[in-house]
Structure 1
Amino acid sequence: MGEPHRVGIVGLGVISRAYLETLADHPAVSVVAVADLDASRSAAVAAELRDAEAMSVERLLDRPDVQTVLNLTIPAAHAEISLGAIDAGKNVYVEKPLAVTFADGRSIMERAASAGVRVGCAPDTVLGTGTQTARAAIDGGLIGRPLSASAVMVTAGHERWHPNPDFYYAPGGGPLLDMGPYYVSALVHLLGPVRAVVGAASRLRAERVIGSGPRAGQRIPVQVDTHVSGVLEHVDGALSTITKSFDGVATTAAPIEVQGETGALAVPDPNYFDGEVRHFPLGGTGWRALEPRAGYVGASRGVGLVDLVQADGHRPPRAGGEVALHVLETMTALLRSAAEGRRIELTTAVRRPVPVPLIQVEDWKGQDPYGH
C-alpha cells in the first residue's frame, strides 16, 4: 500500500473517539496532527497516538505533510475549517452535514474543484452491511421495481443525554440536519438521487432542558424546527416520505422501508453500519432476514475517509462531497419548502455511489480490495 496517507484532525469531541477506533491503527493512514479549541484535549489525544502532534488549528492547516484534514468540528464551523484546508491545498473529509447552508456547501465543492483536491463527507455508515445489503437486494431485483420508501426517526431530543446540546437547537442543527444525513444518504444509495421535495415543519417548544452533566437543569433556546416531514421525488420516479423529530417519545416504524412491485424491504437504522435487513415477498406470509451480501463487515466511523484515500482519483469516493452536497440541498430544500409552502426542484444531480462488495474489514486493512 506504500506510505500511509497523512491525516490531521480538527475537532476532538465525542465523535472523534469513534473515528480514532478506525484510523489509529489503519495501515492506509497515519494521524500526524490533532487540534482542538481545548489545548489540553488535543494534548491528551496526541499522547494516545504513535505519530501525532498536538497543535493549533492554524498550524495544522499550514503543516505541509498533512494531506487530508478530518473536520470534526461543530456544524457551524464546517465551512470555515474545510475552506481553510482547501485553500492550503489539502483534501477534506467532513463530519455531517457538509455545511450549515447549501451556499456554503456549494462553495466548498467549487473551491475544492478549483484547487484540485478531494472532498469526502459523512455519513459512511451507509457503506456497512445494513444499507449495502439492502441495496444489493434492490439492484438484484428481489422486490421488483422500487416504488416508494419511508424513513422515520423519532426521539425525545438529544438534550436528555448530551451535556452540551446547544448546537442541536441552533442554526445547522435540528433533527433534519443532524440525523437526516444518515437517512437521506441511505435513500440516495438505495433509490438514487432526488429531483424535488415538498416539506412541512414545526417548532412547538421555545426551550429545552439539559438532562445530564454539569449543566443539568439549564434551559437552552430552540432556534430551529424540531419536527420535519416531507416527500422526496426521486429521479427514477419513486417517492420517499421522511419524518425526523426531536418532539416524540418512541415509534414502532422501521427506520427505512422500501416498497417494490414484488416485495418489501425493512432496512436497519442507517445511523449504524450493520443490522438485519428483512424481506417480505408479494404473497408471502412473513418477514425473513437476509444474510449480509454487501458492505464493509464490522466497520466503524472513518471507513469513508479510508475509502476516499484508497479511491485516489481512480473512482469517486463512496462517501464523497458530491453526494453530501446533494443530500444537503435535499434537506435545506425541505426546510425551505416548509417555510414557503411550495414544491422545490433541486439543482444538484449525482449518480448513486459505486456499491460496496462484501468486504471483511480485516482484509480491507491489509490491502486495497479494488486493485488501485
Structure 2
Amino acid sequence: MGGTVNPLRVGVVGAGTISAQYSACLQRLPQLRVTAVSDLSAERAGALAAEHEGARVLELPQLMAADDVDVVLNLTLPRTHAEIALQALAAGKHVYGEKPLAMDVAEGRGVVEAAAAAGLRVGCAPDTVLGTGVQTARAVVDAGEIGVPHSATAFMTTPGHERWHHFPDFYYQPGGGPLLDMGPYYITSLVHLLGPVERVVGVSWRPSPTRTIGRGPRAGESFEVTTDSSTAGILVHASGAVSTLVMSFDTWAARLPRIEVHGTGGSLSVPDPNLFDGTVEVYSAASAPEPGPGADHEANWRDAGVRAGYLDAGRGYGLADLAVALGEGRAHRASDEVALHVLDVMESVQRAAATRGSVELTTTCERPEAIASPVDLTAAAVGA
C-alpha cells in the first residue's frame, strides 16, 4: 500500500463536533485532500475549511456539483445520512459517511442499490475495526491460535450519557438507545472476526422512566425515557459461531471485557472497538495450568503484540482505505455492504425483542479483507 498516490478530493458535508476528529486525520493522510466544506453554519464551515489549504466554503448544491470533489464525506445527523448520500451519488460522487448508513434497512438498501447502479463507492463508519486492535485480533483468529472459533461475548455497559452530555435526550428516544448508538462498533467487529450473521434473538428493557442531566446549561433537568435503555441479543453467525451482545445505559460499574472470542483451542480478549488500538490478549488451551486450587489462569493470558492493521489510525482511515481500494481495483473494507448488514442486525434484534421471537436477517455480506500486517498509510508519496 505504499508507492505514489493521487489524492481523492473530498467535499465535507457537516462541520459539527465529529468533524474535528476527521479533520485531524485527513490533514496527515496523503490519499485525501479536502477541497470544499458545507454546513448550515457558515462560521463552522469556514473554521473547518481554514484547516485545509485551498479548501473553500460552498452551499450544498454547489459542493455536489463541484468538479474538484470526488467523494462526499457525510458528517450530518443520522436522519439525513441517506438523503445526502443519494444526492452525492446522483451527482456522480463517491460517498463516505458516519454511522449508521441510514435510519433503517429499507432506506439503507436504497443507498446501496443507487451506488451499484451508478458504479460508485459508498463507505461507512465505523472504521475503528481497521486499526491495530481488531485487525490484530483477527490475525490471531485467522492463524488458528484459538482453534475453531465457536462463540463470542460483547459488552458495552455504562450508567448513561446524561451524566456528561449536555443534550442527551436523543439517546433515550426512538432511533436512539445503546444498541443503535454503540452497536455498530461491536457488531462490525464481530463481523470482521466471525463473519456475517444469519439469525438473532433479542430482549430489551428500560429500568428508569426518566433521566436527569448532570452537566451543562440544563443540569438538574429531567426528561422522559421513551425507548429501551438496555438490549441483549444472541447473534447466530453463518459460520455456526454464536455471539452474545449486551448494550446498556443502565449499568453503574462492570468488570466485563469489551469483546472476547472463544475457540476450541483457546480464548481471545479484544480491546475497546470504539478505539483503533489497544492490547490484544490470547489464552492458549495448550499452556493452560492444571486444574485445581491455586491454578493461575491469569498468568496464561499473553499479549499478542501488534500484528496487523493501520498504525496510529483515527476517524477517516476508512475513507483513505476507500481511496487506496479505488487505485488498486479492490473492494474497500468499511463498505456499504457491511454497514447495511450491521444495520440489519440491529434492526432485527429490536424486532426480535418486540415480538419475543427469532428473526432471520434479510442481508448478508462478505467478511472484509484483512489488513494482514501493520500498515502506515501516512507513508505514501503524493503524485502530481
Same fold per TM (> 0.5)?
A: yes
What amino acid maps onto 1:295 in structure 2? G
**CA gap 1:264/1:367 in 2 versus in 1, 3 angstroms:** same
Q: Does 1:131 align with 2:134?
A: yes
**Number of the residue aligned with 2:332:** 317
Secondary structure at 1:196 match in 2: strand
Secondary structure at 1:109 match in 2: helix
Q: Residues 272-287 of structure 1 correspond to what in structure 2 (within 5 A)?
A: 272-282=275-285, 283-284=288-289, 285=297, 286-287=300-301
Secondary structure at 2:153 match in 1: strand
Q: Does 1:189 align with 2:192?
A: yes
**Number of the residue aligned with 1:365:** 378
**Number of the residue aligned with 1:162:** 165
**Number of the residue aligned with 2:182:** 179
User: Percentage identity across aligned positions?
Assistant: 52
Secondary structure at 2:165 match in 1: coil
Contact 1:296 1:357 in 2 (8 A): no
**CA gap 1:199/1:59 in 2 versus in 1, 3 angstroms:** same
Secondary structure at 1:199 match in 2: strand
**Number of the residue aligned with 1:14:** 17
Secondary structure at 1:188 match in 2: helix
Secondary structure at 2:30 match in 1: coil
**Distance in 1 separating the partners of 2:97 and 2:174:** 18
User: What's the CA shift for 1:255?
Assistant: 0.2
**Distance in 2 separating the partners of 1:60 and 1:203:** 43
**Distance in 2 separating the partners of 1:221 and 1:36:** 31
**Number of the residue aligned with 1:41:** 44
Secondary structure at 2:136 match in 1: helix
User: What's the CA shift for 1:344?
Assistant: 0.7
User: What's the CA shift for 1:360?
Assistant: 4.1
**Number of the residue aligned with 1:102:** 105
Secondary structure at 2:18 match in 1: helix
**Distance in 2 separating the partners of 1:73 and 1:166:** 18
Q: Residues 1-372 of structure 1 correspond to what in structure 2 (within 5 A)?
A: 1-282=4-285, 283-284=288-289, 285=297, 286-312=300-326, 314-361=329-376, 364-367=377-380
**Distance in 1 separating the partners of 2:330 and 2:205:** 41
What amino acid maps onto 2:22 in structure 1? Y
CA offset digits 1:64-113 (Å, max 9, x no partner): 32111111112112111111111111111111111111111111101111
User: What's the CA shift for 1:2?
Assistant: 4.6
**Distance in 1 separating the partners of 2:373 and 2:168:** 37
Q: TM-score, normalised by structure 1?
A: 0.94
What's the Cα RMSD here?
1.6
Q: How many residues align?
A: 366
**Distance in 1 separating the partners of 2:36 and 2:128:** 25
**Distance in 1 separating the partners of 2:321 and 2:86:** 21
Contact 2:333 2:368 in 1 (8 A): yes
Contact 1:30 1:51 in 2 (8 A): no
Secondary structure at 2:202 match in 1: strand
Contact 1:75 1:173 in 2 (8 A): no
Unaligned runs of 5+ in 2: 290-296
Contact 2:5 2:380 in 1 (8 A): no
**Distance in 2 separating the partners of 1:178 and 1:356:** 26
Deviates more, 1:350-359 or 1:55-64: 55-64
Contact 2:308 2:375 in 1 (8 A): no
**CA gap 1:257/1:314 in 2 versus in 1, 3 angstroms:** same
Q: TM-score, normalised by structure 2?
A: 0.92
Deviates more, 1:30-39 or 1:278-287: 278-287
**CA gap 1:2/1:253 in 2 versus in 1, 3 angstroms:** closer
Secondary structure at 1:241 match in 2: strand
Structure with bigger RCO (C-alpha 8 Å, 6+ apart): 2
CA offset digits 1:117-142 (Å, max 9, x no partner): 11101111011111111110011010
